[in-house]
Structure 1
Amino acid sequence: MHTLRCLVVATVAIASALASAAAASATPSTGVDATTLSQATVDGHDYVTKEITIAPGGSTGWHWHPGRVFGVIRSGTLTHDLSDCSVDGIFAAGAPITEGSGPDHVHVGRNLGSEPVVMWVVYIDEAGAPLTVDAPNPGCPFE
């Protein structure tokens, strides 16, 4: 009986911890619309092209990418911040953008301008992998 009670207490504690972590972990995007332009799987890799629009004042939310990401800013100006709260780029229309892969490359894209940011972005991932993984705000005073 003691073993069963310990198991129940441990299970409840783990479930509570996971529920709290899930609720507090993600920073949702705001003002973002994404449309898939193309997608294909070739030799075990997914190739996905999206048009991403961020409204003025909008943000991608904090996240990272498991695979490679390449893009071009079609219109507007994107401000790109790293998890140390530094701006690592301000990208205007026509500018290319790439992002590092993995959980040590947490970042956020923000539209601080008055017109929408429109990007075309290509994701190259292992087949079936997510394009992005949500992350908590690392302590920056903005989204």
Structure 2
Amino acid sequence: MKSINLSRRGKTLTAVAVAAALAGIGGVATASPAHDLTAVTTAEGKFIKPHDLRVRNVTDVVEQTLTIKPGGDTGWHVHPGLVVLTVQKGTIVRRNADCTEEVFPQGTSFIKQGNVPLNGVNEGTEPIELHLTYLKPKGTPLRYEREAPRYCNFD
């Protein structure tokens, strides 16, 4: 039989590995399963681009489902704090006050943060269903109305 000379670090790592293996064999349970719980996923989406989220002074969380009929829109507005939106049905066109447009189809998510006004438009033939989660400072409304930019030509 060949003898193995382990350093102090090697002995420690070996002891940890053996302990972990024995814990698995022994069936030590560290989690508790849910009991009498129902979870319903109401919307699921993917960000087109990854986001790093940093929000300050958030105290309130509000969830909403919005339906926009064909030809309808959200009106020009901004949000205090941050809003995460997921497009459950349809395709929304986000018109920004810097005269750009972004298209978000079903199954995508996007974030609205900051003071650049926008208007969400349904240019399709079917209703759009959006799921929104607002993260906002205490006492602020969900949105502030804004004037449509006069220098953009969205038509």
Task: Tell me the TM-score normalized by structure 2.
Answer: 0.60
Distance 2:58 2:76 in 1: 27
Q: Does 1:85 align with 2:99?
A: yes
The reply on whether 1:96 has 2:109 as its aligned counterpart is: yes
Alpha-carbon offset, residue 84 of structure 1: 2.0
Match of 2:125 in 1: 114
**Maintained 8 Å contact 2:58/2:81:** no
The offset of 1:44, in angstroms, is 6.3
- Following superposition, the deviation at residue 124 of structure 1 comes to 0.5
Q: Sequence identity of aligned pairs in percent? A: 33
Q: TM-score, normalised by structure 1?
A: 0.64
User: Do the aligned partners of 2:58 and 2:137 also contact (CA within 8 Å) in 1?
Assistant: yes
- Paired letter, 1:137: A
- How far has the Cα of 1:141 moved from its partner? 3.7
Aligned residues: 99
Q: Distance in 2 between matches of 1:136 and 1:63?
A: 8
**What's 1:127 paired with?**
138
AA partner of residue 112 (structure 2): E
- Relative to structure 1, the CA distance from residue 44 to residue 58 in structure 2 (aligned partners, 3 Å threshold; closer, same or farther) is closer
**AA partner of residue 137 (structure 2):** E
Q: Which has a greater percent of strand?
A: 1
The Cα of 1:85 is off from its aligned counterpart by 1.9
Deviation at 1:49, TM superposition (A): 0.3
Larger Rg: 2
Aligned to 1:45: 59
- State the shift of 1:50 in Å: 0.1
Distance 2:58 2:100 in 1: 35
Aligned to 2:24: none
4+ residue runs over 2 A deviation: 140-143
2:8 corresponds in structure 1 to none
Structure 2 residue runs without a partner (length 5+): 1-41, 43-56
Distance 2:106 2:78 in 1: 23
- Alignment root-mean-square deviation, CA: 2.0
Higher helix proportion: 1
